[in-house]
Amino acid sequence: QIPQALAGQHWVITAGPTMEAIDPVRYISNHSSGKMGYALAASAISRGATVTLVSGPVQCTPPAGVNLIKVKSADEMLAACESNMDTPASVFIGAAAVADFKMKTATDQKMKKTSDSDEMQLTLVKNPDIIATLAQDKRANIMVGFAAETQNVIDYAKSKLERKGLDIIIANDVSRADIGFNQDENQVTVITKQTSWEPAKAAKSELANQLVDFICQHSQSTPSN
């Protein structure tokens, strides 16, 4: 790898979970730790890129030199990405586990138990699809998504590649306890319209380097970039 190969490039990366308020004390979220997204940010910085990391609530230490934007909800994550991608970014990577749904109306006051009922119903509405919105608006030259799946991993990932208008999708089998959410290691299948590639299981930091290299090679072989 040539040192500083990404000098002059702006990469925008999302990481971690989103947190969707139910009321002032409760929320909907998921098990993403942010480790994969933060590792990708560190790798792109080490190669000379300017990196904006839009992060949900996590415990990870941000890499030195990153432009870190902390958000909670999917709406905030989309707004932060858009406001940092007025000029199209070189690469966007959606490593965040965005909650698919949010409360139709989050209440201002703590929801109270009602003594006459053992059930409670919450009405949820779809969150915006951040990566699909950014892809549609051509906010980056190369759009890279992850697909977190527990079954039919490759087929579902391929359909997300098409449906969301992406260049690359990284399929992640999150049914496995040894990789994926909150683990230090990961194993993925990288899928483009032309090829697929399965790097070996590795530490997220090592895998991130391989993924950044793959994205660079893909962007160099894409005529419009």
On whether 129 is known to bind a ligand per the annotation, the reply is: yes
On whether 130 is known to bind a ligand per the annotation, the reply is: yes
Nearer to ligand PMT, 48 or 101 (CB): 101
Q: How far is the CB of 8 from ligand PMT (least distance, A)?
A: 25
CA torsion sign for 82, 31, 189, 7 is positive
Residue type, 114: T
On whether 110 is known to bind a ligand per the annotation, the reply is: yes
The residues in 122-181 that bind ligand PMT, with binding defined as CB under 6 A, are 127, 129-131, 145-148, 160, 172, 174, 180-181
- Bridge-partner residues for 185, per DSSP? 203
Please identify the residue of the shown chain whose CB is closest to the bound ligand PMT: 94
Helices within the chain (DSSP H only): 35-46, 74-83, 130-136, 153-163, 204-220
The tokens for 167 are: 């260049």
Residue 212 CB-density burial (10 A; 0-12 exposed, 13-18 middle, 19+ buried): buried
Q: How far is the CB of 110 from ligand PMT (least distance, A)?
A: 27
Residues lying near ligand PMT in the complex (CB under 6 A): 14, 16, 32-36, 74, 94-98, 100, 127, 129-131, 145-148, 160, 172, 174, 180-182
Known binding positions for CTP: 100, 110, 128-131, 146, 160, 164
